[in-house]
Amino acid sequence: MYYKQYGDTDMKVSAIGMGAMRYDDADVKAGNLAKCSEIVLYAHEKGINFFDSAPFYCDDKSEEITGLALSQLQRDSFYISSKVNMGSYGGKFSPDDFRRRLETSLSRLKVDYLDFYYLWCLLDLESFHKQYDLMYSSFEKAKEEGLIRNITFSSHMQGTQLESVIETNAFKGMLIGYNALNYRFRQAGISAAHKNGMGIVVMNPLGGGVIPNNPNVFNYLTEGTDLTVPQAALRFVASHKEISVALCGFTTKEHVDDAVTSVKDLAERPAIEIYNEFESKGMALNNLCTGCGYCKHCPVDIDIPKFMDAYNEKILGNSIANRLIWHWGGMSTSLAAECIKCGQCETLCTQHLSIMDRLDEIALIK
């Protein structure tokens, strides 16, 4: 495993980290939590020392599964993070709520402290300021008590908005979505965080599955290597000097092996060099849906994530209708016309996509 510096700290973190939100769904539902935890132990055996969990992942079992594995390891052999936001306690806040949520995460993960605790899923500056003003003092108190080591934030904001959060100097690191699709739109934030001495952890390095599911489109990433497209996409992210960790979700040992292979003999380079090399290659489409699923709670039960997945096919030059027919079991385009234009999905969308317009367009397909 290749190890990198986490910001300006003395922490050495694995270039590949494990995002604990891809445990085998059948095993999770069957209650085979110990079996799920084996993948954490295997990842650790392969040199991965950075693990990221959160409440609600994997039917709210992620922290518990991860903790079953971490309790079998020496505490100084890994770093563990979890997350909290207003939604973690129903949209209301009190210092007691914060403390209970933190203690629940610690108990589930079977640790006495978290290495990183994220102010979670910041969609815009309004969301940031509201939660920061209410919650940051509770983060500071928990740090003073030794319950968390580093206060960090997780965001889906664009680069210039990220800069505003970074300039508060309130955080030791950040977690953002970054990959070969959207890197042009994240440069300002990456640069600002690095200059500020922050650790940078990347989620969604494979573009929500878009990259591996379209190998012909992204084959340019493999040029000069013997890597597969997914491996090359991971290496693309990990090779950034500014980035500390690329998070991957693992379901099988093969997934771990693939990720470890992607950083073998890794060479770090400044982001600007990588940007200049790839500027004229491939695609940079920040308007592809990454499949995060936050829009799933439609009041009239439109399965928005499936429709947005199908719309990706149009952006990639393929057929929306064929995706709905052959991948989503003949899903009717007419269902998209049931949209009541409440706007809830667009408010929840981490990428600020024009979901209602896309649904209108899909509804016209015969």
The verdict on 349 and 308 lying in the same domain is: yes
Any domain includes 127: yes
Any domain includes 158: yes
Six-digit token string for 85: 């936001």
Cα of first residue to Cα of last residue in the chain, in angstroms, is: 51
The verdict on 303 and 264 lying in the same domain is: no
Six-digit token string for 107: 């108990």
Any domain includes 289: no
SS3 readout for the chain: CCEEECCCCCCEEECEEEECCCCCHHHHHHCCHHHHHHHHHHHHHCCCCEEECCCCHHHHCHHHHHHHHHCCCCHHHCEEEEEECHHHHCCCCCHHHHHHHHHHHHHHHCCCCEEEEEEEEECCHHHHHHHHHHHHHHHHHHHHCCCEEEEEEEECCCHHHHHHHHCCCCCCEEEEECCCCCHHHCHHHHHHHHHCCCEEEEECCCHHHCCCCCCCCCHHHHCCCCCCHHHHHHHHHHCECCCCEEEECCCCHHHHHHHHHHCCCCCCECHHHHHHHHCCCCCCCCCCCCCCCHHHCCCCCCCHHHHHHHHHHHHCCCCHHHHHHHHCCCCCHHHHHHCCCCCHHHHHCCCCCCHHHHHHHHHCCC
- Note the pLDDT of residue 345: 92
Any domain includes 211: yes
Query: At 105, which amino acid appears?
Result: S
The verdict on 145 and 63 lying in the same domain is: yes
Domain boundary (278, 311, 333) is at 278
What b/e string do you get for 10-40 counting C-beta neighbours within 10 Å, with b at 16 or more?
Answer: ebebbbbbbbbbbbbeebbeeeebeebbebb
**What is the domain count for the chain?**
2
Q: What are phi and psi of 283, to 5 degrees?
A: -120, 150
Any domain includes 286: no
The verdict on 223 and 310 lying in the same domain is: no
Report the CATH number that the domain containing residue 157 is assigned in CATH.
3.20.20.100
- Note the pLDDT of residue 165: 92
Any domain includes 285: no
The verdict on 254 and 349 lying in the same domain is: no
Any domain includes 218: yes
The verdict on 322 and 249 lying in the same domain is: no
The verdict on 315 and 263 lying in the same domain is: no
The verdict on 303 and 349 lying in the same domain is: yes
The verdict on 9 and 140 lying in the same domain is: yes
Domain extent for 22? 3-278
Distance CA 336, CA 325 (A): 14
Cα–Cα–Cα angle for 163, 5, 178, rounded to 5 degrees = 45
The verdict on 190 and 49 lying in the same domain is: yes
Domain boundary (212, 245, 278) is at 278
Conformational region of residue 11, where left means phi above 0, alpha means psi within -120 to 50, and beta covers everything else: beta
Return the axis-axis angle of helices 187-195 and 159-166, rounded to nearest 10°: 20
Any domain includes 283: no
The verdict on 209 and 356 lying in the same domain is: no
**Intervals of the chain under pLDDT 50:** none
Domain boundary (216, 246, 278) is at 278
The verdict on 236 and 311 lying in the same domain is: no
Query: At 41, which amino acid appears?
Result: L
